[in-house]
Amino acid sequence: MLLIGLTGSIATGKSTVSSLLSQAPYSLPVIDADLLARKVVEPGTHGYKAIVRYFGPSTPDLLVPAGEDMPEDGPDGKGRPLNRPVLGRRVFGDDDDRKRDRAVLNGIVHPAVRREMFKAVVRNYVRGERAVVLDVPLLFESRLDRFCGTVMVVAVRDLAVQIERLRRRDPHLSVEDAENRVSSQGDVREKARRCEARGDRRGVVIWNDAGREELAEEVKRAMEEIERYSPRWWSWMLWACPPAALALAVWGFWRNMRINRTWEKQELRRKAKL
């Protein structure tokens, strides 16, 4: 089973690409890290309790306000949901305090999301799926790219387009808020460069500076390239022979580790010349 790591940055069109891949003619199952991240911090979960314990004392409005439609102890008695815009303002940005708080939040959420993703991958393998999309905004940063046969980055060439789209989607954000959210996920053009460095088929960049029709054509081009190197018969053979699938997964992990080490060395040399 081919693991396709889908990433990008906020407001680059990653969710649209994810939706296109889940529909015909591709009909691929999508494991959405954002949805799992919400699931693992729902009231009553270990993640929810850890976030409230750390952020609650210094963030009075961390939880959705109680009112007529929201009981003090939440609709199911497990607590009121997290006030996500408030939590976002607390962790998005480049100053040291926000970076520290973001690291704490990631340390709570990411391990729980990885566990849920692993369970979902195993379920899809058992069902005989030919490929699965791992939709992860911080694919490289979380080093989950090491497990992927192919990485697909949705990117824009002009960051102003990204900020404009974000503010159109979330009108409550100020220009500063939008810039902080964009910068917190890194320059998507760097992710595109890193993706291309993986080589043919292993790294595919989808540029999304135009409209939806152009984006759909980019997705079609990318999937045609991927399927040339990973035909359906190959996926069925690996499903029928789990030892071969395991051996290939181990080899792919080792290969991706080498690719990452080469990339990191090249980046160190490039930055040393600046």
Pairing of strands 131-135, 30-32: parallel
H helical segments located in the chain: 14-22, 33-39, 46-55, 84-91, 96-126, 159-169, 175-184, 188-196, 212-229, 232-240, 242-273
Pairing of strands 150-155, 30-32: unpaired
Rounded mean pLDDT, 190-214:
89
Give the dihedral of Cα atoms 239, 244, 250, 255; nearest 10 deg: -100
Residue 100 above 80 pLDDT? yes
274 or 252, higher pLDDT: 252
Q: For residue 274, name the pLDDT band (cuts at 50, 70, 90).
A: low
Residue 146 above 70 pLDDT? yes
Q: Which domains does the chain have, with CATH numbers?
A: 1-29+131-274 (3.40.50.300), 39-128 (no CATH)
Residue 93 above 90 pLDDT? no
Residue 227 above 90 pLDDT? no
SS3 192: helix
Task: Tell me the pLDDT tens digit for each residue of 105-123.
Answer: 989 998 999 999 999 999 9
Task: Tell me the pLDDT tens digit for each residue of 54-82.
Answer: 998 988 899 888 888 888 888 888 888 99
